[in-house]
Amino acid sequence: MKKLNTNYVRNHFPAISTGWTFFDNAGGTQVAKQVGDKIVDYLYNINVQLGASYEISQQAETRVSDAQKQWSEAINAKHENEVIFGSSTTALLQNLSRSLVQTFNPGDEVIYTNSDHEANIGPWIEMSKHGIVVKTWNVNPDSLKLELDDLAQIISDKTKLVAFTHVSNVLGTINPVKEITKFIHDRGAKVCVDGVAFAPHRLIDVQFWDVDFYVFSLYKVYGPHYSLLYGKNEILAELPGINHFFIGKEDIHYKLQPGNVNYELTVGCTGILDYFDTLYSSHYKDTSLPLFSRIEKVWELIAQHEEELAEPLINFLKHKNGVRIIGENTSDKAKRVPTISFTVENRKSSEIPLLVDPHKIGIRWGDFYARRLIDNLGLSSNDGVIRVSMVHYNTIEEVNSLILVLDKII
C-alpha cells in the first residue's frame, strides 16, 4: 500500500520550521507555500479592479474566474456558478439565510442540530423573527450521534431546510451525509451541510452526496482566511439577491457576494489545489487523470495517514484512568477524523493545555463555538473539552511526544 511521504508534505509548510507542533488544526491549519506565493504574486503584479477594458484588468478577472472554475471541479460541482466565496463560513451562512428566508412563509420550518458550530445554527434561529418555526435535532445522548429516528420525530411536510454538520468540531464523528440527505429529500426538504471540520481530512463530492448547500472554511484546508459555499445551480438561480439592487438574479454567485470577493484570497486559494497536485505528482505517475481524480487519490493517502496518527492517541486516552473521550473511541478513518476531544476527571479542561504549552505543542480547550453541544453534555462548568486536532502534515513522532507529555500531567 502506498503511504504518504510526510517529509515531502512538511517541506511545503514554512511554519513547521518554527519548531512548534501544531495540534490545533481544527481552529485553522498552516498555509501551504503555494498559497502564499499566489497571494503575493497577485498583490505585487496584478492588483487592479476587475471589469475594465485594459489588459491587466482582464488578466486579473481571468485569475479570479479561474479560481471559481478550479474549485468547482475540486468539489465535483456541475457548474462553476455553484461556487460562492466569502470571508468566513459564518458570513456565508448568514448571507444564505438572508436570501432563503425571503422564499419561506410564516409557519414553514427549519431544523438545526445541537452538535453544530454556531455558524450553522444562529442564522437559522434568526429566521424565527420572520415567523419561521425553528426545531432542534439533538444528538443521541448515549451514542453522541445524529440518529435518523430522532429526526423523523420532528421533520414534517412544513420543513423547508435541515442544517447539519458533516463532522462535529468537538466529536470528530463523520456523519453519513448521503444517507441523511436522501432521508431529508424524500420528505421534501433541502439540506445545508457544514463541512468545516470534514474538509481538511477527506474528499468533498457534492454531486455524490446530492447536497443542496455545502460550506467550509478554506483557512482550515491549508489556505488563507477565506471560505466557500456550494449551492445547486437551479436553487441559487431562484434565490433573491442580497447585493446591490442592480445585481440581477441571473448573476448567480455575485448576487450572494455583497462587496464582491476578495481578489487576492480567491486567487490564493488556487494554491491549495496546486499543493494537492504537487502531492499527487510526487506519489503517482499517471498524469492523464482530471483534477478531481488526482485530488481523490491524494485524499486516500491522507485518510490512511491520519488514521495512523489518531490510533496511538486514542489508545492512550482509552486506557488512561479518569479520561473520557468525547466522541468515537476508535481511530477508524471511516468513522472519525483525527479531531479528538476528551476530559480529565476532577480537572478543568483549561488546566491541561497550559501545562502542555511549555513543550511547544499547541493544543486547546473550550467549546469551540459548539456551545449548545457543550452545554447539553454538561461540560460548560468544566471549561469545555481538551481538543487535539491533527492533519496530514503531523507525524507519529509528534503524537508520541504529546502522549509522553500528557502521561506526566494527567
User: Are 73 and 100 contained in the same domain?
Assistant: yes
293 pLDDT above the threshold of 90? yes
How large is the average pLDDT for residues 152-181? 98
If asked whether residues 307 and 262 sit together in one domain, one would say: no
Same domain as 235, residue 111: yes
List the domain range (segments joined by +) for residue 192.
Answer: 36-272
Q: Is the pLDDT of residue 249 over 80?
A: no
Instruction: Give the whole-angstrom CA distance, residue 161 versus residue 314.
Output: 35
* Position 252 in a domain: yes
Q: HSE (CB half, 13 Å, CA atoms) of 341?
A: 25
Q: Looking at the domain assignment, is residue 226 inside a domain? A: yes
Considering the domain architecture, whether residues 88 and 24 belong to the same structural domain is answered as no
- Locate 250 and state its grid cell: 441571473
Domain identity same for 109 and 15: no
Q: What is the mean pLDDT of residues 70-87?
A: 97
Residue with cell 444562529: 122
Q: Which of 239, 272, 305 is the last residue of a domain?
A: 272
Check whether residue 338 and residue 266 sit in a common domain: no
What's the count of helices (H) and strands (E) in the chain, helices before strands?
A: 15, 13
pTM of the full predicted structure?
Answer: 0.97
Assess whether pLDDT exceeds 80 at residue 56.
yes
Average pLDDT over residues 207-217: 98
Q: How confident is the model at residue 304 (pLDDT cuts 50, 70, 90)?
A: very high
Please tell me whether residues 249 and 353 are part of one structural domain: no
pLDDT tens, position by position, 230-245: 999 999 999 999 999 8
C-alpha cell at 40: 503575493
Using the predicted structure, report yes or no on whether residue 1 has a pLDDT greater than 80.
no
Considering the domain architecture, whether residues 93 and 127 belong to the same structural domain is answered as yes
CA atoms of 125 and 110, how far apart (whole Å): 8
User: Domain boundary residue among 272, 306, 333?
Assistant: 272
Residue 281 within any structural domain of the chain: no
Give the cell for residue 145.
Answer: 450521534
Cα–Cα distance, 267 to 262 (Å, whole number): 9
Per residue in 105-138, pLDDT (tens digit) is 999 999 999 999 999 999 999 999 999 999 999 9
Same domain, 11 and 63: no
Termini Cα distance of the chain:
36
Q: Which of 244, 272, 300 is the C-terminal boundary of a domain? A: 272
Output the pLDDT for position 32.
98
The answer on 78 and 20 residing in a single domain is no
Q: Which residues contact 358 (CB under 8 A, 6 or more apart)?
A: none
**Is 357 among the domain residues?**
yes
The answer to whether position 122 is within a domain reads yes
Residue 278, in any domain of the structure: no
Which are the contacts of 77, defined by CB distance < 8 A and separation ≥ 6? 83, 206, 207, 230
pLDDT band for 397, please (50, 70, 90 cuts). very high
Same domain, 239 and 332: no
Q: Could you tell me if residue 159 is inside a domain?
A: yes
Our count of domains for the chain comes to 2
Q: What percent of the chain has pLDDT over 70?
A: 100
C-beta separation of 348 from 406 below 8 A = no
The domain that contains 86 carries what CATH number?
A: 3.40.640.10
- Read off the CATH number of the domain in which 359 is found: 3.90.1150.10
The answer to whether residue 179 is domain-embedded is yes
| CA gap 68, 48 in Å, rounded | 18
- pLDDT at residue 250 is higher than 90: no
Answer yes or no: do 178 and 314 share one domain.
no
Q: What does pLDDT average to over the chain?
A: 97
Q: Is the pLDDT of residue 253 over 90?
A: no
